[in-house]
Structure 1
Amino acid sequence: MENDNDFIFQKIQGADTVELNPNHLLTLLKVIREKSVTRAAELLNLGQPAISARLRQLNMAVGEPLYRRKGHEVVLTPAGEGLMVFAVALEENMKKAEGYIRRLRGLSAGTLRIGATVTASNYYIPLSLVEFQKKFPGIRISVETAPTYELFRRMSDLDLGFVEDPIEEEVPETFQVKRWWKDQIVLIYWKDHPKADRWKNGVMLEELIDYPIIWREPESGVRKTIEREIEKKGLRFKLCFEVSGADAVKEAVRAKMGIGFVARRVLEHSNSDLLFSQINPPHGVEWWINIIEPNDKMKSRATQALVDLCLKMSNRISETSEQKTKNQSLKNAIGKTA
């Protein structure tokens, strides 16, 4: 009895299943347009037996005749005419797909999904994205902001990630971390701060214990990096004010609520009412923005193009920033001598 049921199920399953080969459908379309199996075989670079075999298999898949011969020509049956509507649509979509693939190869189509921390999104990646869009206007860019831990969790849905030091999360299996933008964390304070003259050439962390600090949110890479430096020195700082984002730190310092820590890049276009100093001179507190990118075998052309552009951009800006720092140091030294 069990075998009988299996047989009935297979018959029903066979009746509902259509094994349709798209190439067979496109072959019939070519034969009908050329009105000749011989001519269609030449255009498709196939032998006539191969064309006939495709047509025969297509007939079997449908279950009734799709064409008939009229003299030397091949003409459609009503069933074949109905099927040709889908054959034409299939041909058009295949052409569109081929064109899309060609544009992808030429970096003129597609979407790049990028995840970044707020600091990376606001201060580090915009110039690179602008240059990329100028170079490849056909590629759409989508940027989502989230904390580092959240970005690592969502990398399977993203093409690239831009995250801050320190990296405490496990890197997803198909991704790798590339150090990208080397920066320094600096102390910021208002222009007429009582210690402005003393701090202008640098300040050690232990000198700041008694001053109110404007802290970033706990998941901030800048905050975590400074906290590690404090821990290394065995220091203890008070938590006076806590705000979200580098801009909020700048505004709180501008309001003279306290001093704060930000990445040097964050001050690139700030007003001159805020001053900054290197922490723990002469080496400072080094800090990186990192790129989470797919492993080489998984990387698209568009992803690789953006990574290459980002690297060039950071090198160019870093060189300019270093020159500015040297000029400022020289200016300070001359002023001190005078």
Structure 2
Amino acid sequence: MEYLNLPDLKHLATLRAVVEQGGVSEAARLLHIGQPAVTKRLRALDGCYAAGLMQRQGRTLELTPAGERVYAFARLVLDHQASLLDDLEYLRSGLNRLRLEVTFAIGEHLLPSLLLNFSDNFPQYRIESRMGYSRHIQRRLATGLSDLALLEQAPDHPEVLVQKWLDDELVLVCGLGHPLWGSGLLPVTELGDLRYVLRESQSSMRITLDKALRDIGIDQLPIAMEVGSTDTIVEMLQHGGHVSFLPRFAVDDALNAGTLYHIKIQGLRIYRTLWIARTRSNLKNAVAEAFIQLLRKKSWNG
């Protein structure tokens, strides 16, 4: 492998700053260096890659095709560098912290009470949580950038261990005033006649839903809107003529309160499992063990 012409991280950061700040002078102010130093770093990158990365169009600098690729690489490298620094800081801080990642629906509806309960029972420990899509969380788990995850899909990676957490179901719901409020069983053949507001296609919920529908011969629902928050969808259902498939754990309170109605579908129920995932290298983490102990007390009675 060729190591002689590797780019300097400062040079990559300079290219990114010029692009994202809109010019050399703006990048210089952000990086606390002079404009000649910015220009020198850009030229060094040109030499490193044997290609011009930026060109002047009128009074502005724009990326060349080669520059577009190097800029994308710079973002990737610098983001990974930031993650590495966070990881090293985590190691330096001791073993009383847990890096937890959850999907958006779990984070919105189940995580708050879990974190409060954990804090009350284990005040000596600290949890740092973040939300994301399952595929991103799985990648961070596998690369050691997170310690534990709560997922709506089981990861398939040799270094990631999974255990069942909760049973869940995707249910079709509508708001008060919808024509199907209080109705009986809906024939599955009438699913295509409704107007849907659903989570986005990359969400775990949609992946499960789309597969279940394909299995019964429904390739596409008439989707009016895609929204990246179950809470927002629940609120929207109160005001319009739409329906949605949502996790039961996310709508159970609204169903019990009578602000949403569960439309039962003849011959179709979409069951699924929520999972706890962790890496093989993290089996002796005391904080993870304490959190899993708390999770096992959380049962679903829906």
Would the TM-score normalized by the shorter structure come out above 0.5? yes
Q: Which residue does the alignment assign to 1:161?
A: 149
Superposed displacement of residue 221, structure 1: 1.6
Superposed displacement of residue 194, structure 1: 1.8
Give the Cα separation in 1 of the matches to 2:262 and 2:211. 20
Unaligned stretches of 5+ in structure 1?
1-103, 322-338
Change beyond 3 A, Cα 1:277–1:210? closer
Superposed displacement of residue 132, structure 1: 1.8
Q: Secondary structure at the match of 2:193?
A: coil
Is the Cα–Cα contact under 8 Å of residues 217 and 243 in structure 1 kept in the other structure?
A: yes
**Which has more radius of gyration?**
1
Q: Which residue does the alignment assign to 1:186?
A: 171
> Given the alignment of the two structures, is residue 250 of structure 1 paired with residue 228 of structure 2, yes or no?
no
Superposed displacement of residue 149, structure 1: 0.7
Runs of 4+ aligned residues of structure 1 deviating over 6 Å after TM superposition are none
Q: Which residue does the alignment assign to 1:144?
A: 130
Is the Cα–Cα contact under 8 Å of residues 213 and 239 in structure 1 kept in the other structure?
A: yes
Among candidates 230, 236, 240, match of residue 224 of structure 2 = 240
Change beyond 3 A, Cα 1:296–1:304? farther
Q: Read off the aligned partner of 2:237 and give its amino acid letter.
A: V
Return the TM-score normalized by structure 1. 0.56
Q: Secondary structure at the match of 1:244?
A: coil
Give the Cα separation in 1 of the matches to 2:246 and 2:110. 13
Is the Cα–Cα contact under 8 Å of residues 120 and 289 in structure 1 kept in the other structure?
A: no
Q: Read off the aligned partner of 2:216 and give its amino acid letter.
A: K
Q: Secondary structure at the match of 2:253?
A: coil
Length, aligned pairs only: 204
Among candidates 285, 302, 305, match of residue 290 of structure 2 = 305
Identity across aligned pairs (percent)?
A: 22
Q: Which residue does the alignment assign to 2:43?
A: none
- Which range moved further: 272-281 or 190-199? 272-281
Give the Cα separation in 2 of the matches to 1:204 and 1:184. 19
Change beyond 3 A, Cα 1:110–1:267? same
Give the Cα separation in 2 of the matches to 1:267 and 1:223. 16
Q: Read off the aligned partner of 1:210 and give its amino acid letter.
A: D
> Given the alignment of the two structures, is residue 124 of structure 1 paired with residue 110 of structure 2, yes or no?
yes
Unaligned stretches of 5+ in structure 2?
1-93
> CA deviation digits over 1:29-82, x for unaligned, max 9?
xxxxxxxxxxxxxxxxxxxxxxxxxxxxxxxxxxxxxxxxxxxxxxxxxxxxxx
Is the Cα–Cα contact under 8 Å of residues 107 and 131 in structure 2 kept in the other structure?
A: yes
Return the TM-score normalized by structure 2. 0.62
> Given the alignment of the two structures, is residue 264 of structure 1 paired with residue 252 of structure 2, yes or no?
no
> Given the alignment of the two structures, is residue 196 of structure 1 paired with residue 196 of structure 2, yes or no?
no
Alignment of 1:265-304 (within 5 A): 265-270=249-254, 271-280=257-266, 284-295=269-280, 298-304=283-289
Superposed displacement of residue 178, structure 1: 1.2
Q: Which has the higher helix share?
A: 1
